Amino acid sequence: MIEKAGSAKWMGDLKSGKGTVSTESTALKDQPYGFNTRFEGQPGTNPEELIGAAHASCFSMALSMILGESDLVPDEISTTAKIYMDKEGDGFAVKKSHLTVAAKVPGASEEDFMKAAETAKANCPISKLLDCEITMSAALA
């Protein structure tokens, strides 16, 4: 089993407190985050954008693998995952992830590309992790 870790520290109350987030690889090390970066649009990271980055990168790798199974090697796959969070009861919940995909895949037909993209959307490990609606707009360049 593969194991990877992320960690966070939080100091203070919800609105005025501050936190830091780090990854095992140190790609992120003590990156600050807070209420203002999550709910008030201030610059800085937040859990939802980190989930978006994880979903986009996982999907892109899965799509590359699926295309490769048909001997198609992408020159480039560019993916953005937009995470939508909304009020639910007394709290909040992630309700949707929308993948926007643009790819250059020599020799791929539109039909083959879309089939591979739909398969990746449904089966990448982060898609399987998310308990929300996952939508996609995909284009083959």
Listed by start position, the domains of the chain span: 6-39, 47-140
Residues of the chain with pLDDT under 50: none
Q: Which fold has domain 47-140?
A: GMP Synthetase; Chain A, domain 3 (3.30.300)
* Per-residue H/E/C for the chain: CCCCCEEEEEECCCCCCEEEEEECCCCCCCEEEEHHHHHCCCCCECHHHHHHHHHHHHHHHHHHHHHHCCCCCCCEEEEEEEEEEEEECCEEEEEEEEEEEEEECCCCCHHHHHHHHHHHHHHCHHHHHCCCEEEEEEEEC
Spatial distance between the Cα atoms of 87 and 91, rounded to a whole number of angstroms: 6
What pLDDT sits at residue 49? 95
Please tell me the distance from the alpha carbon of residue 135 to that of residue 140, in angstroms, as a whole number: 17
pLDDT at 18: 95
Tell me if 106 sits within 8 A of 70, measured CB to CB: no
